[in-house]
Amino acid sequence: MTQQVNIGINGFGRIGRLVARAAFANPNTTVVAINDPFMSLDYMVYLFKYDSTHGRYPGTVVAENGNLVIDGHVVRIFTAKNPAEIGWGTVGADYVCESTGVFTSTEACLSHVQGGAKKVIISAPPKDNTPMYVVGVNHHKYDGSANVVSNASCTTNCLAPLAKVINDNIFDANASIALNDNFVKLVSWYDNEWGYSNRLVDLILHMASVDN
């Protein structure tokens, strides 16, 4: 992919901040806007810069003229409670990560589209029939028809790739169970925070390749 994908983030909590880190670490993505009505700009700088689990952010992050400036990139800050009032379109945020944990249905997330976003990715299991995609499992089924999708849960992102390997190569994991002397326990290592956030960015990149 030659054109950089612009991402907006709604909710600068744990997942929102790590998605931002993952996006800035990926040369094909950048964050152009963040919306959080409950966090001051100075607190955003502090929480993004210092992480007790993942360490200090290796780049630069400062507050400047009411916005965040990360690694020299200006990130527009919004403080709207209603997603429809966030100016995603004014800053070119085509793909929005919905990480508040509040808006977890297609109906609720379509408000982001009203604000100018092209597609919305929920960083949680949806409360309705919003399609869920897991990179490495079923991301190839995304056809661009849905404006709102879900990256499923962190647990699903951990277990589904392993289940797919078993299902595709050994036996039908949904309909079978094997209990014998050769029974093997399979362990999958997965980082529920950093791993999940990177897979969400990967999903956005795949969606952009299909949409374009």
- Which CATH code is given to the segment(s) 5-153+191-211? 3.40.50.720
Q: Which helix (H) or strand (E) holds 88?
A: helix 88-91
> Could you tell me the end-to-end alpha-carbon distance of the chain, in angstroms, rounded to an integer?
10
Tens of pLDDT, residue by residue over 4-27, are 999 999 999 999 999 999 999 999
The per-residue b/e assignment along 157-173, b for 16 or more CB within 10 angstroms, e otherwise, is bbebbeeeeebeeeeee
pLDDT at residue number 193 = 81
Please provide residue 10's backbone torsions phi and psi, each rounded to the nearest 5 degrees.
Answer: -105, 110
Q: Which of 97, 109, 154, 158 is catalytic?
A: 154
Tens of pLDDT, residue by residue over 159-200, are 666 666 666 666 665 555 555 666 666 665 556 688 889 999
- Angle at the Cα of 28 (from 22 to 32), degrees rounded to 5? 70
Which residue, 122, 132, 130, is CA-closest to 97?
A: 122
CA distances for 171 relative to 70, 81, 157, 209, angstroms:
47, 48, 20, 32
Query: Which of these ranges, 58-62, 97-101, 124-128, 158-162, has the smallest mean pLDDT?
Result: 158-162
Cα radius of gyration (the chain): 18
CA 55 to chain centre: 20
- 97 flagged as catalytic: no
CA distance 204 to 206: 5
In the chain, what are the domain boundaries?
Answer: 5-153+191-211
Q: Please give the structure tokens belonging to residue 95.
A: 């793909």
Tell me the pTM: 0.88
